[in-house]
Amino acid sequence: MSISNLDPECLQIMSKSPTKVPPTAAVIFGATGDLTHRKIVPAFYHLAKNDLLPDDFAIIGFARRPKSDEEFRKDLGDALEKFSHTKPVDQAIWKKLAERIYYFQGELDDPKAYQKLADKLKKLSQSEKIGENYLFYLATAPDYFGQAAQNLAAAGLASRPDGTRHRLIVEKPFGEDLKSAEELNRTVQGAFAEKDIFRIDHYLGKETVQNLIYFRFANAIYEPLWNRRYIDHVQITVAEQVGVESRGGYYDHAGASRDMLQNHLFQLFTLTAMEPPASLDAESIRDEKVKVLRSIPTPSLDFLQKNVIRAQYGGGFIGNKAIPAYRQEEKVAHDSLTETFVAARFEIDNWRWSGVPFYLRTGKALAAQFTEINIIFKRPPEVLFAASADDRLRRNSLRIRIQPNESISLNFNAKVPGKSEAELVEMDFLYKSGFDHYLPEAYERLLVDALVGESTLFTRSDEVEQAWRLVDAVRDSWRKQNARDLPLYACGSMGPVEADLLLEKTGRHWIRPKEIST
């Protein structure tokens, strides 16, 4: 069943924003890049397929390579055949969309190119009846974000006070530390109004992430337990099975802390820990997320050295594929101290979470590819079962699987048939079997929200800066350690032994994903 066939009540539950976008011209900067081919254009195709784009809609690809409209359309069509998550591609729908895709050659640092773009958009607005509603997507190298925003403003293409929609999507990474993020915010906000800036993190577009708010606040059985009285600790894991592959040049500068901790992990962290918002509007939800980050005091050097682990992967195999050691990857320094794995403990200094540790970890070349939030409840009193349960009376836990195979699982103790002992059992809810309608990809949802001006699933400037404050503290502690080497972990493992000890020293352990549970 497609989204367009759902009844209005169901659509309202899925999204607060209108499901049909207004006539718009979307301009993709970096149009010949990987992100455009893999994610952005396939997302537009699926929106068209589900009747969520108007007839008066156009896409302009902005890039420096010489290319005709037809060549650009063919490149995108070939990529769609490869990267569409539904097969086969509906050629009639793609043909209709492709006819409204155009190519514009220009340099990102050339102000004259933006003036020519403005002229092209004006002519297109008249012919396609899209008015002056524009969405600009910066799918470029981060170095161009501020400059592109300024050039758009100089060409009269930024925010306007008359209500005309001129919106800007900015990809991650948004800055590389707190100082650069603050400078970029000032630059972009000098060109576009904050309400028209959409800092994208595709994790927020995942249906399971969005469901966190509904799961917590629409169910009376969980929210009363969501606090320090009942929860022992929380684990959030973003595990990648691949190494750095062709991204060695970027990754050796960024590392896991900048690439994943500052954005994806902290996004899941804040949604898990936030207080009930005053309403479901964007600012109310984002206010509560920022409050979580503000409630984490900047950790001391001593705390960070005891509670943050970094490591690199060594050589090895994942399945039948050989993975070189990180320092042997292309464009990686042979003496690199860049972390490919990070595990950290954070604590929130507020009434709900005081004393409850949040353990965050992410890494490359790990045993499995998955993203999970695990809520570990306190151990129940064992006085009734002391003679028979021994150590089998385990803590209850709630597993929220973000990807793949989106699901929510509750673990609880049950009596083993025929024996006087308890065993941990699991009760599952699987998204694919629980709902029979179309499950949109993250970029599809985020593009629709940006097109209609719904900013709930995008990060606000103060949220970005608060996340960088914490990551800067972590990275500063590493610089002060003056380490000459890093712990290594085997490819296909779940990280270094030091990460296990981070929990084991307090009597805890990492929850293993289902795929590799023993």
Assess whether the previous peptide bond of 173 is cis (omega < 30° from 0).
Answer: yes
For the record, the structure tokens of 54 come out as: 């108007």
Calpha distance 443→464 (Å, rounded): 20
**Residues 337, 255: contact at Cβ < 8 Å?**
no
For the record, the structure tokens of 443 come out as: 């970029």
Residue of 233, 264, 334, 437 marked catalytic:
264
Chain centroid offset of residue 307 CA = 24
- Among residues 137, 44, 135, the alpha carbon closest in space to that of 93 is found at 44
SS3 277: coil
**Residues 140, 29: contact at Cβ < 8 Å?**
yes
Tokens 């290319």 -> residue: 67
- What is the CA angle 346-348-349, rounded to 5? 135
Calpha distance 383→387 (Å, rounded): 8
Is residue 233 part of the annotated active site? The answer reads no
Instruction: Report DSSP letters for 166-199, one per residue.
Output: EEEEEPSP--SSHHHHHHHHHHHHTTS-GGGEEE
SS3 431: helix
Calpha distance 411→400 (Å, rounded): 11
Calpha distance 23→8 (Å, rounded): 21
Point out which residues pair with 371 in neighbouring strands. Answer: 238, 403
Calpha distance 323→245 (Å, rounded): 9
Q: How many Cβ atoms sit within 10 Å of the Cβ of residue 404? A: 11
Tokens 């039948």 -> residue: 320
Assess whether the previous peptide bond of 8 is cis (omega < 30° from 0).
Answer: no
Calpha distance 117→344 (Å, rounded): 46
- Among residues 272, 178, 251, the alpha carbon closest in space to that of 474 is found at 178
Determine the residue type at 512: R
For the record, the structure tokens of 311 come out as: 């490591």
- Among residues 258, 509, 250, 276, the alpha carbon closest in space to that of 394 is found at 509
Please list the active-site residues: 264
